[in-house]
Chain A
Amino acid sequence: MQRILIVEDSATMRAMLCATLEELGSEVKISEAASGFEALRMLPRESYDLIVTDINMPDINGLELVSFVKRSELYRRVPLIIVSTEGSERDRDRGLALGADAYMVKPFDPSAMRDVAAGLLASAPTSGDATAEEA
């Protein structure tokens, strides 16, 4: 089982990201956070294999979240995709400089999104497997 955390404040966009990534197969479990704060609260609860985040969000923005994840001993190895509406190139460069593994522009092409996500999931260290999979 691989776990993906989607961080996005728009419910519609979240549903679209979910539907897109669910197509990756039955071995993917998706969790959703509606804000950066919610994501911060959810991170310690499960071990995620991929984070997909928006930039423009009300409490903390996506860059701040990326910075947090990439500086954390616990989460830095989790691959991270920024999905943002085409806007500031500076923000994109900063996101990548902070350690984001990919940057996708909204509106995204679902199959391209799946390809990027699948590539990152395949390269991810399956950190969660050992702890969460015993049943």
Chain B
Amino acid sequence: MAARRAKRSLSKAQREFVCEAEETLERLRADLLTLAEQREGEREADPDLVNQLFRAAHSLKGLAGMVGFDAMSELAHHLEDALDGLRMGRIDLDSPAIPLIDEAVALAAGLLAHFGHQNEAQQRSDARDVADMLARIETGLDGPAKGPSEDAVDSLDLDPAMLRALTEYEEHRLRENIRKGRHVSLVETAFEISNFEEGLGELSAAIREVGEVVSTLPSPGDSPASQICFALLAATRIDASALAERLEFPDTSVRVLAEGRTTAARDAQASVPESGAALSGIGAGTEAARTKQRAATRASDDGEAPETPEFESLRSLSDTVRVDIRKLDELMVLVGELATQRASLSRTAARLLADAATSAAGRDLAKIDKLLGRKLQQLQAGVLDVRMVPLRQVFERLSRVVRRLQRDHGKQVRLDFRGADTELDKLIVEELVDPLVHLVRNAFDHAIETPEQRLAAHKPAEGAIHICASQRGNHVVIEVSDDGRGMDAEAIRVRARAAGLAGEADEISDKEALALVLEAGLSTCSEVSETSGRGVGMDVVRSNLTALGGLVDLASEPGRGTTVTLTLPVTLAIVQALLVAVGEECFAIPLNAVIETLLVEESQIHRSEGHEILDLRGEALPLRRLASEFGICAGEQAAYVVVLGLGDARMGLLVDRLEGQQDAVIKPIQGPIQQVRGIAGATELGDRGAVLVIDVASLVEDGVRRRDAA
């Protein structure tokens, strides 16, 4: 399609504009249909709907202005004028300007389709169409304007702070409601700031059932850091005391501002047509189509060119859909639950197979189960795939950071990327931005020397930072390396002793010294720098990564440079888990961290410097007993060792039994157990109930620390 091809030649900002403008036009169209229904039903236009239409036109105008799309901006401006007239009561639904709104939106869609790649002829014809439309809207709006009603707002007993914060439109709505004899009241309420939206939403909805929320004004609560108050200006068909009865919310009060004329009894009737709106909406599609048809006939009757873009305007220009990530989370949870159900199906099949009397049915069921499993896997992969985004966008941000640093500090540093197409879960990518920015700033500021120092050390004057991302199995490894001065282990030792992290007599190996930088956020830089010495330290990078189930590793060679390696799971949403049991307790271990499992005898386990180790093909594998980690009575017989690995670190976990593999959706735990080190969350495993999920990163980390300490 020509339009789609041409769109690739647009800049990123222009593409974003097209995407959002399309969504805005789509919303305008949908809302105009609803408005047409309200008109057909001879009902009053819903003020919230009209305001929504106005806002859409308003933001389209602003967007078009920012990308220099003047024809669109002008058109949206007139559209906005017409809708503003409607919302402010200057014109009503019978105004000749109203039918033009549909046409103007269709024209806008046509303009958008030509955006960025129109030839001159097209440009001229578009300009003509726009000029023509503008003139028609202006004529349509040119009627005897209704004067504003006399000011009843000032007579309200309203806090001046609230009155001042009303927009012109809100003030108009207030006036309109008073004119119609609605009861005006002030509903005051308070919420915890962390979760006010749900409660406020319910309260507003309850008011809207009997009228309108004219304004919602937040104000600081008694303890402003944690609490927030809201004053809602409500115009309702029922009086304040009836409203107070309806609104059974905690900490909520209703105060009368203006008594209305109507009584509650008559209002119950008056509200019937409105609540019937949903019913009459059933025939809306055809009705709206008829309206459109009439509009089209009218247009051709007038001898104007028929709306050729009518079909075009319905076709979407962009093939992307924006989805709230929470919806994907919900899907993921569903897929996980489905997998859980399937596991019980497998077990049932196995049970039937084992019994000679039912083995035929068992075989059939097993076959179905296998097919179901395959489809389920595809479904899961599909849902996961949708969440994946390439690291490219993060890398682009890092480039910007380095460009700005160069400009501000006059240091020459080259930044290269490899593996920008490596994909990670959207949520992980978001969480990665801050740590990566910090690492790059660190490298720029502390690691890379000044050009003079570099030349003196026989290095090129220009420093280099390499970032390399690659996928390894279920993990993504991101290495941030620089060719700077490297870390001086001796300097770290001195600082560690000065900071009291180690005694004067304690031996600190080079590796331990680097570990201290990660753990305690120890800096090797003597003065706080403007670039990265403030804000987060390496310990924060590490805790960010740990929260994602990842690992940070640091390697440095004095004079040659430093490499920070981040190891991250590809997704947080669902994992294959190995189920293990200790005594009566069952735990899940994410399979992506399991390297192998071994059957061991107690006699194979040695003690070395107070810690248990296993000789694994010549390497000493530090061991931990899951039972003693969580204070459980373990069995006494032969046991299994689950070899865990994250990055280069290895560790063995001693358990009683292995209980198979299963998909698990990890859910965070609330409450005291949330703080327990070594537990990442819980998962629901069908007939097994809830099972705790082992946090491999923290166990491995503790294991490594012990070994290094030994």
| A26 adjacent to B408 (CB under 8 Å) | yes
Please tell me which one of the listed residues A37, A73, A87, A94 contacts residue B224 in the complex, with CB atoms under 8 A apart. Answer: A73
Q: A37-B197, A97-B164 are in contact. Are A67 and B536 (CB under 8 A)?
A: no
| A59 adjacent to B536 (CB under 8 Å) | no
A108–B63 Cα distance when bound, in Å, is 11
| Residue from A36, A41, A91, A135 with most neighbouring chain B CB atoms (10 Å) | A135
Write the nearest CB–CB distance from A87 to chain B, whole angstroms: 7
A67–B162 Cα distance when bound, in Å, is 8
Q: A26-B408, A98-B164 are in contact. Are A12 and B65 (CB under 8 A)?
A: no
A87–B58 Cα distance when bound, in Å, is 9
Size of chain B's interface in residues, with CB distance under 8 A?
54
| B62 adjacent to A13 (CB under 8 Å) | yes
A50–B534 Cα distance when bound, in Å, is 20
| B167 adjacent to A63 (CB under 8 Å) | yes
| B66 adjacent to A64 (CB under 8 Å) | no
| A16 adjacent to B13 (CB under 8 Å) | yes
A68–B80 Cα distance when bound, in Å, is 28
| A61 adjacent to B13 (CB under 8 Å) | no
| B530 adjacent to A71 (CB under 8 Å) | no
Q: Is A123 an interface residue (CB 8 A)?
A: no
A16–B170 Cα distance when bound, in Å, is 29
Residues of B within 8 A of A135 (CB): 521, 533-537, 540
Q: A27-B530, A40-B228 are in contact. Are A71 and B219 (CB under 8 A)?
A: yes
For chain B residues 529-564, which have a beta carbon within 8 Å of chain A?
530-531, 533-537, 540
Please tell me which one of the listed residues B16, B165, B441, B535 contacts residue A133 in the complex, with CB atoms under 8 A apart. Answer: B535
A30–B595 Cα distance when bound, in Å, is 41
| Residue from B194, B218, B535, B537 with most neighbouring chain A CB atoms (10 Å) | B218
Write the nearest CB–CB distance from A26 to chain B, whole angstroms: 4
| A68 adjacent to B220 (CB under 8 Å) | yes
Residues of A within 8 A of B168 (CB): 88, 90-91
| Residue from A13, A26, A97, A98 with most neighbouring chain B CB atoms (10 Å) | A26
| A64 adjacent to B215 (CB under 8 Å) | yes
Residues of A within 8 A of B66 (CB): 12-13, 16, 106-108
Instruction: Select the stretch in B140-148, B399-407, B619-627 that faces chain A.
Output: B399-407
| A67 adjacent to B531 (CB under 8 Å) | no
For chain A residues 34-50, which have a beta carbon within 8 Å of chain B?
36-37, 40-41, 44
Q: A9-B59, A88-B167, A94-B165 are in contact. Are A15 and B193 (CB under 8 A)?
A: no
Closest to B170 in A: A61
Q: Is B161 an interface residue (CB 8 A)?
A: yes
Write the nearest CB–CB distance from B240 to chain A, whole angstroms: 22
Closest to B530 in A: A27
A106–B68 Cα distance when bound, in Å, is 11
A26–B399 Cα distance when bound, in Å, is 12
Q: Mark B504-545, 1 if CB is under 8 A from A, else 0.
A: 000000000000000001000000001101111100100000
| A56 adjacent to B58 (CB under 8 Å) | yes
Write the nearest CB–CB distance from B12 to chain A, whole angstroms: 9
Write the nearest CB–CB distance from B321 to chain A, whole angstroms: 14
Q: Is B422 an interface residue (CB 8 A)?
A: no
Write the nearest CB–CB distance from B339 to chain A, whole angstroms: 33
Secondary structure dominating the interface of B: helix
| A63 adjacent to B16 (CB under 8 Å) | no
Write the nearest CB–CB distance from B534 to chain A, whole angstroms: 5
| B166 adjacent to A44 (CB under 8 Å) | no
Q: Is A111 an interface residue (CB 8 A)?
A: no
Residues of A within 8 A of B183 (CB): none
Q: Mark B57-81, 1 if CB is under 8 A from A, else 0.
A: 0110111011010000100000010
Write the nearest CB–CB distance from A32 to chain B, whole angstroms: 12
| A74 adjacent to B59 (CB under 8 Å) | no
Closest to B14 in A: A12
Closest to A74 in B: B224
Please tell me which one of the listed residues B55, B65, B73 contacts residue A56 in the complex, with CB atoms under 8 A apart. Answer: B55
A74–B16 Cα distance when bound, in Å, is 36
| A11 adjacent to B16 (CB under 8 Å) | yes
Please tell me which one of the listed residues B194, B217, B225, B534 contacts residue A67 in the complex, with CB atoms under 8 A apart. Answer: B217
| A41 adjacent to B164 (CB under 8 Å) | no
Residues of B within 8 A of A98 (CB): 164-165
Closest to B216 in A: A60
Please tell me which one of the listed residues B62, B224, B401, B533 contacts residue A10 in the complex, with CB atoms under 8 A apart. Answer: B62
Question: Which size bracket describes the interface of A in this complex?
Answer: 35 or more
For chain A residues 84-118, which have a beta carbon within 8 Å of chain B?
85, 87-88, 90-91, 94, 97-98, 106-108
Q: Is B92 an interface residue (CB 8 A)?
A: no
Please tell me which one of the listed residues B193, B220, B535, B536 contacts residue A71 in the complex, with CB atoms under 8 A apart. Answer: B220
A74–B218 Cα distance when bound, in Å, is 14
Closest to A90 in B: B168
Q: A60-B216, A135-B533 are in contact. Are A72 and B224 (CB under 8 A)?
A: yes
Write the nearest CB–CB distance from A15 to chain B, whole angstroms: 6
A19–B66 Cα distance when bound, in Å, is 13
Residues of A within 8 A of B417 (CB): none
| A85 adjacent to B62 (CB under 8 Å) | yes
Q: Is B226 an interface residue (CB 8 A)?
A: yes
Residues of A within 8 A of B521 (CB): 135
Closest to B539 in A: A135
Closest to B18 in A: A12
Q: Is B307 an interface residue (CB 8 A)?
A: no
Write the nearest CB–CB distance from B455 to chain A, whole angstroms: 25
Q: Is B196 an interface residue (CB 8 A)?
A: yes
| B16 adjacent to A85 (CB under 8 Å) | no
Q: A72-B220, A74-B225 are in contact. Are A11 and B534 (CB under 8 A)?
A: no
A65–B217 Cα distance when bound, in Å, is 8
A63–B164 Cα distance when bound, in Å, is 9
| B164 adjacent to A94 (CB under 8 Å) | yes
Q: Is A55 an interface residue (CB 8 A)?
A: yes
Please tell me which one of the listed residues B19, B164, B219, B404 contacts residue A25 in the complex, with CB atoms under 8 A apart. Answer: B404
Closest to A83 in B: B62
Residues of A within 8 A of B197 (CB): 37, 41
A103–B13 Cα distance when bound, in Å, is 24
Please tell me which one of the listed residues A10, A41, A88 contacts residue B63 in the complex, with CB atoms under 8 A apart. Answer: A10
Q: A26-B401, A74-B220 are in contact. Are A106 and B536 (CB under 8 A)?
A: no
Other than A10-B63, A12-B16, A97-B164, give 5 A-B pairs with Cβ distance below 8 A: A23-B404, A61-B170, A67-B162, A74-B225, A106-B66
A-B contacts, 12 listed (Cβ < 8 Å): A12-B13, A16-B13, A22-B400, A26-B408, A59-B216, A60-B217, A65-B218, A67-B219, A68-B220, A85-B61, A107-B66, A135-B521
B interface residues with partner A (beta carbon < 8 Å) = 13, 16-17, 19-20, 52, 55, 58-59, 61-63, 65-66, 68, 73, 80, 161-162, 164-168, 170, 193-194, 196-197, 215-220, 224-226, 228, 400-401, 404-405, 408, 441, 521, 530-531, 533-537, 540
Report, nearest first, the 6 A-B pairs whose CB atoms are least far apart. Answer: A107-B65, A85-B62, A67-B165, A72-B220, A106-B62, A68-B218
